[in-house]
């Protein structure tokens, strides 16, 4: 019976990192749940009301995924913050600074 219960649920972790703090929440979900389900089951949307499910980027272990991606037990759902600067522009500025332009 314990195996039946175990196979009908999965354990995942929801992670949202800010410059000064990290939100980590373990969540138990029904099998075949999606990333969106994990985010909604955690407290992250209540704790950070500025997060908008329609616009956030998410992933699992550093790989970009969609909100409807199905999860597996042990996955870490990551909510990504928007970039503060364009990486290509930052590289151009550093290269120009090194060459003295």
How do beta strands 76-80 and 9-17 pair? parallel
**Range 2-99 has CATH code 3.10.20.30:** yes
Residues 6+ apart with CB under 8 A from 1: none
Looking at residue 82, its pLDDT comes to 77
Looking at residue 92, its pLDDT comes to 74
Residues 1-56: pLDDT tens digits? 344 445 799 999 999 999 899 999 999 999 999 999 999 999 999 999 999 989 99
Determine contact, residues 3/31, Cβ cutoff 8 Å. no
Residues 6+ apart with CB under 8 A from 21: none
Residues 57-100: pLDDT tens digits? 999 999 999 999 999 999 999 999 876 666 676 677 777 777 76
3-state secondary structure of 67: coil
Closest CA to 76 of 88, 63, 89: 63
């Amino acid at each position: 019976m314990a195996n039946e219960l175990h196979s009908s649920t999965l354990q995942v972790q929801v992670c949202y990192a800010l410059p000064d703090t990290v939100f980590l929440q373990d969540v138990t979900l029904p099998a075949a749940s999606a990333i969106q389900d994990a985010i909604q089951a955690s407290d992250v949307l209540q704790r950070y009301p500025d997060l908008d499910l329609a616009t956030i980027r998410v992933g699992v272990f550093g790989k970009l995924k969609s909100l409807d991606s199905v999860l597996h037990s042990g996955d870490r759902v990551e909510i990504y913050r928007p970039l503060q600067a364009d990486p290509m522009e930052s590289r151009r500025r550093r290269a120009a600074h090194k060459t003295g332009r």
